Amino acid sequence: MFSTTDTIVAIATPSGRGGIGVVRVSGPGALQVSSALLARRAPLAPRRATFSRVSAGLVHDQVVATFFPRPASYTGDDVVEIATHGSSVVLNAVVNAALDAGARLAAPGEFTLRAYLNGRIDLPQAEAVADLIDAATPLQARAAFDQLNGTLTTAIGEIDAALFDLIAKLEASVDFPDEGYHFVEPGSAARSIESIALKIDALLETASRGRLVREGATVVIAGPRNAGKSSLFNALVGSHRAIVTPIPGTTRDLLTEVVDLNGLRTTLVDTAGIAESSDPVEAEGIRRARSALAVSDLILLVYDGSSHLDEPQIILEATERKTLIVASKADLPSAWRRDDALLVSARTGQGMTELIAAIHHALAGEALTDTPAITNVRHADLLTRARTALRAAAAAVSDAGGALSEEFVLSDLQEARGLLEEVTGRRTPDDVLVHVFERFCVGK
Ligand SMILES: Nc1nc2c(ncn2[C@@H]2O[C@H](COP(=O)(O)OP(=O)(O)OP(=O)(O)O)[C@@H](O)[C@H]2O)c(=O)[nH]1
Ligand SMILES: [Mg+2]
């Protein structure tokens, strides 16, 4: 389904205008296609930026072309990158000329797919390329870069090696049953399985923080009317995004903005004040506020710190979800106190730093700076299933008592191993590949 023998071309830089733009050509015909475009007659020297011109119909430009010979190129095939001025007219003309010269338009992610199919990178590394390109915070970029560097592959490789070792010993027991000798005693098999399971657990423990880094968190600002929710939202966003008025019931729709809170990508949601309302518009706003609460990772429950607080109100709004209680308008004389409330003034900025730190802590715990190994749901899912298979293997060992039946244990261990190989892409069905590379944009 993936043709790898033809020559592909695409614009590798983002669409729009820029100082330079790059067209990437990869495949066995990369040199021949690019020489059809370039005015320069002499062949391109490997890995040397070479000044030339292109002419494609009406369009002419001065360019720098670089030839990366196989196999030490991004894709593992011959690659020529042509840097033009960053005009979409020029870039499209160059691509069209390359198509005329025999190249085919690359599908999304096809350059990286070729790198994977040519064994330049494994599947987690290919996924890391997409993550790095999509990173919205420095921490996301860092997590993706670590994965690109092979941290996950190394961790999985160690688990796989231990699993392989155990499987080999058990198979030896199966193959030489007449010796009356177990190569692996049940106790030692159980210990090996346990130690492998612990390694997988350690990886999986990083997964929920990893998801936070990768996908970010949703923080919903809720509370009674006029509590100062929209003012707080604006202060966190850093612009006058939401309408603020002294009139209770100002906000009706859900407002969302993505912000970087100390490195954590956060979707902030401002909501209508929760109250009994006979106004159908406000009632719909309140219904939406409640549904936003239901999908939040964290709720900021905001109460006006300067006016009397109904104690039952807080209890009424308490939910199962993580919640921070905020006493707003801290620049005014306070009308109530609670030990667990964060005092914040959107007007003066008082308490904002502490609030952001508290949000960060509630979502991510102590440190989000040590990079998690697992940031990807596909990986987490496969590892969870491998963990289940190991649990079944451990159960088969302990049920057997003295008479260990290697075949049963082996089939579970082999299943676990297959799942690990699916993470790294050593054994990956085509539909998984399609799914992974769908996420890419053209030219990557
Ligand atoms: N002094 C002071 N006033 C504030 C502060 N934050 C909000 N206010 C005032 O409180 C009133 C309500 O603020 P909003 O931010 O609109 O409150 P809200 O909770 O979004 O209100 P609804 O959308 O109507 O539920 C406005 O008059 C704000 O100027 C603050 O930190 N200090
Ligand atoms: Mg509001």
Q: How does pLDDT run across 32-90, given as a tens digit for each residue?
A: 999 999 998 899 999 999 999 999 889 999 999 999 999 999 999 999 999 999 999 99
Task: Judge if the beta carbon of residue 209 lies within 6 A of ligand 1.
Answer: no
**Ligand 2 centroid vs 234 CA: distance in angstroms?**
10
β pairing state of 264-270 and 255-261: antiparallel
For ligand 1, atom 4, name the residue with the nearest CA: 329
pTM of the model as a whole = 0.71
**Ligand 1 centroid vs 244 CA: distance in angstroms?**
6
Based on the number of CB atoms within 10 Å of its own CB, is 392 exposed (0-12), middle (13-18) or buried (19 or more)?
Answer: middle
Tell which atom from ligand 1 comes closest to the C-alpha of 225: 25
Task: Judge if the beta carbon of residue 249 lies within 6 A of ligand 1.
Answer: yes
**Ligand 2 centroid vs 212 CA: distance in angstroms?**
27
Pocket perturbation via mutation, ligand 1, pick of 221, 244, 254, 331 by most ligand atoms within 8 A of CB: 244
* Percent of all residues in the chain with a pLDDT value above 70, rounded to a whole number: 93
Q: What is the pLDDT of residues 356-405, one digit of tens each?
A: 999 988 987 765 555 556 888 889 999 999 999 999 999 888 776 656 67
Is there a contact between 394 and 197 (Cβ–Cβ < 8 Å)?
yes
Does the pLDDT at position 315 exceed 80? no
Task: Judge if the beta carbon of residue 332 lies within 6 A of ligand 1.
Answer: yes
User: Rounded distance, CA 263 to CA 136, Å?
Assistant: 9
Q: What is the pLDDT of residues 344-356, one digit of tens each?
A: 999 999 999 999 9
Q: What is the pLDDT of residues 162-221, one digit of tens each?
A: 999 999 888 887 777 666 556 677 788 889 999 999 999 988 888 877 777 777 899 999
Instruction: Establish whether the linkage from the previous residue to 71 is cis, with ω within 30° of 0.
Output: yes
Mean pLDDT value across the chain:
89
Tell which atom from ligand 1 comes closest to the C-alpha of 224: 25
For ligand 1, atom 7, name the residue with the nearest CA: 228
For ligand 1, atom 21, name the residue with the nearest CA: 226
Task: Judge if the beta carbon of residue 252 lies within 6 A of ligand 1.
Answer: no
Q: How far from chain centre, in Å, is Cα 187?
A: 40
Pocket perturbation via mutation, ligand 1, pick of 226, 328, 350, 352 by most ligand atoms within 8 A of CB: 226
Position 1 scores a pLDDT of 53
Tell which atom from ligand 1 comes closest to the C-alpha of 270: 20
Position 139 scores a pLDDT of 81
Does the pLDDT at position 94 exceed 80? yes
Point out the ligand nearest to the CA of residue 222: 1
The pLDDT-based confidence of 313 (bands split at 50, 70, 90) is low
Identify the three-state secondary structure at position 66: strand
Residue 160, CB-side half-sphere exposure with 13 Å CA sphere: 16
Positive or negative, the CA dihedral 291, 294, 296, 298 is positive
The pLDDT-based confidence of 31 (bands split at 50, 70, 90) is very high
User: Rounded distance, CA 135 to CA 216, Å?
Assistant: 11
Position 388 scores a pLDDT of 95
For ligand 1, atom 32, name the residue with the nearest CA: 329
Point out the ligand nearest to the CA of residue 273: 1
Based on the number of CB atoms within 10 Å of its own CB, is 430 exposed (0-12), middle (13-18) or buried (19 or more)?
Answer: exposed
Tell me the angle at which helices 377-400 and 406-424 cross, rounded to the nearest 10 degrees: 170
Point out the ligand nearest to the CA of residue 223: 1
Position 34 scores a pLDDT of 95
**Ligand 1 centroid vs 274 CA: distance in angstroms?**
14
